[in-house]
Structure 1
């Protein structure tokens, strides 16, 4: 994870400058020194040749590089020149080159040498710095920022042609850096849009891939804490010293298209979505991902797909929360997923259900799991990769918001369990659970009747299914309602509606 911080630091030089008004003074030399200190704090070595002419400090042949662990290689960002001009009013303008490069030289998993050069082009970039040496604020604008794969060399099998371009339009950003015992960073940025394109030609595999996409109205806000004087290579020490990052990304809509031609057969994929959001945070306390989008549309055609496939989804959402640091105390984790309002066109329905026996209402699947765990080791410790078992134990699990709606039937449920990790015998190596879960099924028998009518299930199979439902569920007050309560008691007995199953 420290590598993520280091790599993001290099790109941040192009688009993480920001500032608000300040009444203190800052000089060009102080800005450059702080810039170097920031890059060194996240693991880069910084070199450049300094010279001064009047109010302008010029740094030529700037190189910011770091070793890539576990890959026998280096990453280096190179800028021909940077200028820092004192305005005489306590502010400094930073001049950045229109063209810079990032060079990545690593050894691949099979020992092959991989050389990659990425060209970064900035158009109409303007950066103003104000504040004081311990509290610098930056403001920047740019009409365009683009990253393009300029060179790609791999020993052995490699595509004949590989092109990658990512561009951003009309950037406006702001960043504040406060330096004390740690470096506190606060950032915000907007871009009118992002466009990307990937093209691959591989004659050895007889394959041709073209992928394009766009995001509209990107917004970012976030920040973090970066330890000062702590080696980022020592991941545990870096996190223990207070490293933390968080950010929220929002966009107004997106589109994606991909065409794959393999063995002369084309396959096309097109997607679009409405507004979406992603929240990311990680620190010694844990990692969190939370987000979703609306109005998703997907169209597939060609290739091995015998007929065009299309579907729409009103909502998609996800949540992942996981602790990272060892603790004798219980820590929270969470996992959630929502696929809401899934619908397919009538043409696809008619292939499987030409008589329109099944209700064609949009389908929904969603659930949320909250739990508690106890970690014996830090998950951020690289040594954990050699562990064959998860270095912790599950102590509690709660199911909420389970909803499955499909073809006129609806299943809902919730449950709450604790786990006895001292008893690994009662459930064949699994910690013994204790608790209960309640489920309610509406329209289950009606759906089974319709499936029988369609010929997908025979009468004998349906009879077996009804017997199982009778074993695990009891009729409810509503029409075609079944309720089930699954319990595990202190003795490890499993009961369904009070009837012992184990």
Structure 2
């Protein structure tokens, strides 16, 4: 028994050793993989000199050039990234250490034909990175890059010519504590997997328009950034445009999360100084995109905002609790329907007492936080591929709505609350979608709100009588200052509210 176990352990260690040897990469193999990745996206990589010095492959005068000519948009673009030196050092354990010159320059130019003139845009950027290191490991077909960058600084300028007004732009960004990995696999599909984090990001952007004597500066900072993502693309050299990639089965999935953040916009407009500021405790962005599905979501933790302009004698300020936006839908032409989601949440929105004082100086209205929730799901059938040239020239609707589930709709404002839920299906044989089903609506606090608005002189008394009459016709009492109503959609276009015919 003991000899059998030893033999098994020996076989395992032998397989591990064989795998490790197979997974070794050389400097030349890593460099070849880097060139292929750029080439897949239509870029041309050149070097002035390539030489071996012991265990290190040294590449001098490296340039990466990308050119695009989109005739349908009458646009030409060219970008060039260059660095003096790139070093790939074999560490003796099957991995390769990658370091580069501290400065990387990037020049981008574009020309767009606009009516009778050509608008050109030139951007020059310099990235400075001290002590940045990437370690490549794995196999030639699948290389992982473990990255460490203590600090990266990006500075750039942008100028536009060919227009009557040509504002100039200056930007800068500092990224601290970047670390993580990226894995690149070449095969029938180019697959990239990444997991990166950054302890802090600070940036600023200044826009000045000398012809109008206006200037604006936007600055911000974010802490504890984290991004994870995967992409699968069947890239054809020279055809790396969006539609070609989607037609080839591309897929992108990932998220960006961050901790405390703050954004400021300040400047001088024709009317005077402007200042805007917003801050949030945390946030997250999720994306899924492929030939079948589009899914985009944004979440934010509690946040604050303020705005001051010459038109308002005091700052406009407020706060909000958790918020969320999500839109997901099928995007591929199909004979069968697929699920979709549409969601918007804005909880506990409050504004400063200065704002309340504009229309409620005596404090008669409830100043409770406002909330808006819209949560819809259902199914629809795309009639065309959303990511296709056919979509750009489509004259009719791109999809056929087949069902709608109102999971929750709620508006809480000024002491009143309106909420609803229900489910509908749609008959599309008539040319126009005809709903079938019902939605239930509940309303509380409306009478108290109307009484306050009448007392303040904001609403005439006769209008409240009309509202009460409508509630009496189409809603049922459900308690003290509470009403409920069920809206039914029947065949033939008939609409009933608590049995009363509306249409």
**TM-score normalised by L of structure 1:** 0.90
Deviation at 1:282, TM superposition (A): 0.8
Q: Is 1:88 the equivalent of 2:95?
A: no
Aligned to 2:318: 311
Aligned to 2:490: 489
Aligned equivalents of 2:34 and 2:120: distance in 1?
32
Aligned equivalents of 2:83 and 2:331: distance in 1?
37
Deviation at 1:264, TM superposition (A): 5.4
Aligned equivalents of 1:387 and 1:243: distance in 2?
23
Conserved 8 A contact 2:65-2:78: no
Q: What are the superposed Cα offsets for residues 336-357 of structure 1, whole Å, 9 maximum, x if unpaired?
A: 1111001122332233222221
Superposed, 1:361-440 pairs within 5 Å as 361-424=368-431, 430-440=432-442
**What is the CA RMSD across the aligned residues, in angstroms?**
2.1
Residues 154, 396 of structure 1: alpha-carbon distance in 2 compared, 3 angstrom cutoff: same
Aligned to 1:57: 57
Aligned to 1:446: 448
Deviation at 1:296, TM superposition (A): 1.0
Q: What are the superposed Cα offsets for residues 262-281 of structure 1, whole Å, 9 maximum, x if unpaired?
A: 12511111111111111111
Aligned to 2:282: 275
**TM-score normalised by L of structure 2:** 0.89
Aligned equivalents of 2:229 and 2:168: distance in 1?
37
| Deviates most, 63-72 or 335-344 | 63-72
In the alignment, which of 209, 226, 230 is matched to residue 223 of structure 1? 230
Deviation at 1:489, TM superposition (A): 0.6
Q: What are the superposed Cα offsets for residues 349-398 of structure 1, whole Å, 9 maximum, x if unpaired?
A: 23322222112211101111213221122111134222233322222222
SS at match of 1:250: strand
SS at match of 1:108: strand
Conserved 8 A contact 1:25-1:91: yes
Q: Is 1:47 the equivalent of 2:46?
A: yes
Q: Is 1:72 the equivalent of 2:76?
A: yes
Q: Is 1:103 the equivalent of 2:104?
A: no
Aligned to 1:4: none
Aligned to 1:147: 154
Deviation at 1:64, TM superposition (A): 3.3
Aligned equivalents of 1:398 and 1:460: distance in 2?
37
The number of equivalent residue pairs is 476
Aligned to 1:463: 465
Deviation at 1:232, TM superposition (A): 4.0
Residues 63, 131 of structure 1: alpha-carbon distance in 2 compared, 3 angstrom cutoff: same
SS at match of 2:47: strand
Conserved 8 A contact 2:382-2:400: yes
Aligned to 1:475: 477
Aligned equivalents of 1:482 and 1:443: distance in 2?
9
Higher relative contact order (CA 8 A, sep 6+): 1
Deviation at 1:42, TM superposition (A): 2.8
Q: Is 1:342 the equivalent of 2:349?
A: yes
Aligned to 2:273: 266
Aligned equivalents of 1:151 and 1:348: distance in 2?
39
Conserved 8 A contact 1:230-1:241: no
SS at match of 1:239: helix
Q: What are the superposed Cα offsets for residues 145-194 of structure 1, whole Å, 9 maximum, x if unpaired?
A: 23222452422334454211122111112112233322222111111111
Residues 269, 453 of structure 1: alpha-carbon distance in 2 compared, 3 angstrom cutoff: same
Residues 358, 247 of structure 1: alpha-carbon distance in 2 compared, 3 angstrom cutoff: same
Conserved 8 A contact 2:407-2:422: yes
| Deviates most, 120-129 or 384-393 | 384-393
Conserved 8 A contact 1:235-1:381: no
Aligned to 2:13: none
SS at match of 1:112: strand
Unaligned stretches of 5+ residues in structure 2: 1-18
Aligned equivalents of 1:483 and 1:195: distance in 2?
51
SS at match of 1:282: strand
Aligned to 1:16: none
Q: What are the superposed Cα offsets for residues 114-147 of structure 1, whole Å, 9 maximum, x if unpaired?
A: 2222222222211111111122111111121232
SS at match of 1:168: strand
Aligned equivalents of 2:437 and 2:238: distance in 1?
46
Aligned to 1:18: none
Conserved 8 A contact 1:48-1:63: no
Conserved 8 A contact 2:271-2:310: no
Unaligned stretches of 5+ residues in structure 1: 1-20, 425-429
Conserved 8 A contact 2:63-2:80: no
SS at match of 1:72: strand
SS at match of 2:322: strand
In the alignment, which of 356, 359, 373 is matched to residue 352 of structure 1? 359
Aligned equivalents of 1:260 and 1:473: distance in 2?
52
Deviation at 1:486, TM superposition (A): 0.9
Aligned equivalents of 2:324 and 2:435: distance in 1?
29
